[in-house]
């Protein structure tokens, strides 16, 4: 432990007091800093609470075994802690999952009797809460909401989130004379002042990145634009595959998730592998585009850029859709199929939901109970504020994306490292009210897209079961936004040659997994059976990145190498990354 003078400690306490007063003043004077309850203000909350009390008092026997087990576990914990304190040998349970929990990686959580007790008491209580919630009989939306909120509550109460119960924070405070607390309060005040509507915890060093300089740097140019998109044409190699690739990224975030730093850029990798790449860059809509609906996104985001690509001499394209971009792509393919247009040669879907029967943890926030509240909120301003979805996605993985940075930034007083994916994650976009509400009601809640002819776009009934082009569908095992089983259910709707690929990691890190990386293996198979778990049994395990398997699939569907288009002769609006992505 370093020697810290009392004057230094007093000085840090004074600074912390000043920051504290400024934080309180900012919170009281700026209502916009308050956390929005857009997803929580619904009439069903009171109904759920009433049912919980009724079931508890009507059937107390359902909870007896759980409570007895809880008491037994506490008694064992006390016995083991006393034994360790007195120096006696006591064998720990082998089922202690907290040994593998990143929140408790500091050695003191196991070595210290005090912190060992706190950790185990928390884990026992969290498990009791989870088991108690399971006992309640509620409709699926209510049960999902209860599970979600109870998990959020227990995550927030983790002893790692508090100064006096986190050994690393205590040690840092003693070593620095509480400089970490002072710096942490300064970090919190800075985040508070930078936040617009919701308090956003910094997850990366934003000063390190700049779009167009060290992100989205693959050479290309904007060759077409309308109200919603800019179409980027990337400079090809001298020889390219005869059929180009047209990519539709999600419009919930900026397109450059596909073109991060050079080592993580999927676009650069495609260009280096002799593919001619076109990509949609979505606008960041304001209330002026509140009237834009899903049909506008189909017309202006897919049909119009594809028509422009045809003028460059391409009669066929291989398409890629990521997340909601894949949902739009499937609709577009069905639309073209019904209108006898054969421009789309194949389709690749990245973590895309087409069957919304099981929307995962997002279903706790977006369901029939919350939709009216969401519609009223977004209709007031004409769009869904970008921060709402970003914070919702963060809450789904609160320990990784919220509380770990809360501890790092505010308790340890450190600054987050520079990480391109997290920079992109914080650079989200708004969503037009009309489009967003249509998407939620017709797909997320009523799940109409999977039913033939139940959705109509631009005068055409959409039927995904008619799609018979080659398809490649990617899912990620740890994806909390698009559950891999739900992604699998979507590909079952198609005809034709179907390939399903399951990678490790999550919604973003599973997709952005460079070809030379062996960090996340994958499984792949063309044997699309009814049960996804049966698919696992037949899938081949590959130790490298899924990019390599996808490359083989793309080559088989892209024809031979030929001389590339005359890139320099194509009219340019501006250089990539374009202006829309910077808005």
Nearest CA-CA partner of 317 in 139, 558, 509, 491: 558
Residue 385 falls within a domain, yes or no? no
How large is the average pLDDT for residues 250-255?
A: 94
| pTM to 2 decimal places | 0.90
The predicted structure's pLDDT at residue 30: 65
- The string of pLDDT tens digits covering residues 418-434 is 999 999 998 889 999 99
Looking at the 3D structure of the chain, how many domains does it have?
2
Let me know if 456 is exposed, middle or buried by CB neighbors in 10 A (0-12, 13-18, 19+): exposed
Q: Are residues 151 and 228 in the same domain?
A: no
Residue 291 sits in a domain whose CATH number is 3.40.50.1820
Does a structural domain hold residue 547? yes
Determine, yes or no, domain membership for 28: no
Q: CB burial class (10 A; 0-12, 13-18, 19+) of residue 267?
A: buried
| Banded model confidence at residue 175, pLDDT cuts 50, 70, 90 | very high
Evaluate whether 294 touches 457 at the Cβ level (below 8 Å).
Answer: yes
Is residue 79 situated within a structural domain? Answer: yes
Cα 211 to Cα 215: distance, rounded to the nearest angstrom: 5
197: pLDDT strictly greater than 90:
no
**Per-residue pLDDT at 393:** 80
Residue pLDDT, tens place only, 357-380: 998 888 888 888 888 888 888 988
CA angle, residues 487, 490, 494, in degrees to nearest 5? 140
Domain termination residue (choose one: 177, 202, 232)? 177
Instruction: Decide: residue 144, CB within 10 A, 0-12 exposed, 13-18 middle, 19+ buried.
Output: buried
- Whole-number Cα distances in Å, 66 to 79, 94, 128, 301, 412: 20, 20, 7, 53, 37
> Same domain for 443 and 535?
yes
Q: Are residues 443 and 336 in the same domain?
A: yes
pLDDT averaged over every residue in the chain: 91
* Residue 32, pLDDT score: 47
Enumerate the active-site residues: 323
Does 169 share its domain with 252?
no
Average pLDDT over residues 456-480: 97
Instruction: Kindly tell me if the per-residue pLDDT of 199 is higher than 80.
Output: no
pLDDT for 92-142, tens place per residue? 654 566 667 899 999 999 999 999 999 999 999 999 999 999 988 888 888
357 and 491 part of one domain: yes
Final residue of a structural domain among 150, 177, 204: 177
- 8-state DSSP, 308: H
**Cα separation, 195 vs 518, whole angstroms:** 37
Q: Are residues 133 and 251 located together in one domain of the fold?
A: no
Comparing CA positions, the residue from 424, 415, 355 lying closest to residue 393 is 424
Name residue, tokens 């919304």. Answer: 356
Co-location of 352 and 435 in the same domain: yes
Same structural domain for residues 316 and 441? yes
How do residues 1-19 score in pLDDT, each as one tens digit?
Answer: 456 788 888 898 888 889 8
DSSP letters spanning 503-568: ESS-TTTTTS--TT--SS-EEEES---SSHHHHHHHPEEESS-HHHHHHHHHHHTS--EEEPP-GG
pLDDT value at position 392? 79
Same domain, 161 and 274: no
255: domain range? 220-362+430-582
Token pair of 496 as six digits: 């034709």
Domain boundary among 122, 151, 177: 177
| Cα 276 to Cα 203: distance, rounded to the nearest angstrom | 34
Whether 45 and 150 share a structural domain: yes
- Answer whether residue 12 is part of any domain: no
Q: What percent of the chain has pLDDT over 70?
A: 94
CA distances from 506 to 265, 423, 481, 520 (A): 17, 17, 9, 10
Q: What are the tens digits of pLDDT across the range 297-346?
A: 999 999 999 999 999 999 999 999 999 999 999 999 999 999 999 999 99
Cβ burial of 49 (10 Å; 0-12, 13-18, 19+) is: exposed
Domain contains 405: no
What pLDDT does 198 receive? Answer: 63
Asked if the structure places residue 87 within a domain, the reply is: yes
What token pair was written down for 371? Answer: 């939709």
In a domain, 265, yes or no: yes
d(CA 56, CA 59): 6
Stretch 272-291: mean pLDDT: 96
Q: Are residue 479 and residue 332 in the same domain, yes or no? A: yes
Task: Give pLDDT, residue 453.
Answer: 97
Instruction: Identify the pLDDT of residue 3.
Output: 65
Looking from the CA of 24 toward its CB, the CA atoms found within 13 Å total: 6
pLDDT at 33 over 80: no
Cβ contact 573:541 at 8 Å: no
Task: Give me the mean pLDDT over the 532-545 stretch.
Answer: 92
Do 154 and 226 sit in the same domain of this protein?
Answer: no
Residues facing residue 247 across a β-bridge: 279, 320
């Amino acid at each position: 432990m370093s020697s810290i003078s009392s004057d230094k400690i007093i000085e840090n306490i004074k600074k912390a007091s000043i920051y504290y007063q400024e934080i309180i003043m900012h919170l009281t004077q700026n209502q916009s800093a308050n956390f929005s309850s857009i997803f929580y203000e619904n009439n069903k909350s009171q109904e759920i609470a009433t049912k919980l009390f009724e079931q508890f008092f009507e059937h107390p026997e359902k909870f007896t075994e759980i409570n007895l087990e809880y008491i037994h576990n506490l008694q064992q914990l006390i016995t083991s802690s006393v034994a360790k304190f007195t120096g006696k040998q006591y064998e720990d349970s082998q089922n202690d999952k907290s040994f593998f929990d990143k929140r408790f990686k500091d050695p003191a959580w196991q070595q210290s009797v005090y912190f060992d007790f706190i950790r185990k008491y928390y884990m026992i209580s969290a498990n009791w809460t989870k088991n108690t919630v399971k006992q309640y009989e509620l409709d699926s939306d209510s049960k999902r909401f209860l599970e979600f909120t109870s998990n959020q509550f227990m995550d927030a109460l983790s002893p790692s989130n508090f100064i006096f119960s986190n050994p690393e924070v205590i040690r840092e405070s003693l070593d620095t004379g509480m400089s970490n607390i002072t710096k942490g309060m300064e970090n919190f005040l800075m985040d508070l002042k930078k936040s617009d509507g919701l308090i956003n915890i910094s997850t990366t060093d934003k000063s390190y990145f700049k779009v167009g300089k060290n992100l989205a740097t693959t050479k290309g140019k904007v060759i077409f634009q309308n109200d919603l998109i800019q179409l980027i044409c990337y400079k090809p190699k001298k020889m390219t595959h005869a059929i180009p690739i047209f990519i539709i990224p999600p419009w919930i975030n900026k397109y450059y998730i596909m073109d991060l730093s050079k080592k993580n850029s999927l676009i650069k990798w495609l260009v280096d592998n002799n593919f001619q790449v076109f990509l949609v860059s979505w606008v960041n809509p304001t209330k002026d585009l509140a009237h834009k609906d899903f049909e506008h996104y189909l017309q202006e985001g897919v049909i119009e850029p594809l028509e422009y690509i045809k003028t460059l001499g391409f009669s066929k394209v291989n398409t890629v859709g990521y997340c909601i971009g894949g949902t739009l792509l499937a609709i577009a393919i069905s639309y073209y199929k019904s209108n006898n247009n054969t421009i789309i040669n194949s389709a690749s879907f990245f973590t895309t939901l087409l069957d919304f029967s099981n929307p995962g943890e997002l279903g706790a926030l977006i369901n029939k109970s919350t939709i009216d509240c969401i519609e009223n909120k977004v209709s007031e301003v004409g769009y869904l504020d970008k921060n709402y979805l970003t914070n919702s996605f963060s809450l789904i993985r609160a320990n990784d994306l919220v509380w770990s940075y809360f501890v790092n930034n505010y308790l340890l007083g450190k600054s987050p490292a520079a990480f391109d994916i997290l920079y992109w994650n914080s650079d989200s976009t708004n969503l037009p009210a009309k489009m967003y509400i249509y998407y939620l009601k017709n797909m997320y809640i009523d799940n109409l897209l999977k039913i033939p002819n139940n959705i109509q776009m631009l005068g055409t009934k959409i039927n995904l079961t008619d799609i018979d082009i080659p398809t490649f569908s990617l899912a990620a095992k740890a994806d909390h936004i698009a559950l891999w089983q739900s992604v699998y259910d979507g590909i079952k709707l198609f005809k034709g040659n179907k390939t399903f690929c399951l990678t490790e990691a999550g919604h973003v890190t599973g997709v952005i997994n460079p070809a030379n990386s062996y960090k996340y293996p994958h499984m792949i198979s063309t044997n699309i059976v009814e049960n996804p778990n049966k698919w696992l049994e037949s899938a081949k395990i590959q130790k490298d990145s899924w990019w390599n398997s996808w490359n083989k699939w793309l080559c088989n569907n892209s024809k031979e190498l030929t001389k590339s288009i005359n890139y320099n002769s194509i009219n340019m609006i501006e250089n990539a990354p374009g202006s829309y992505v910077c808005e």
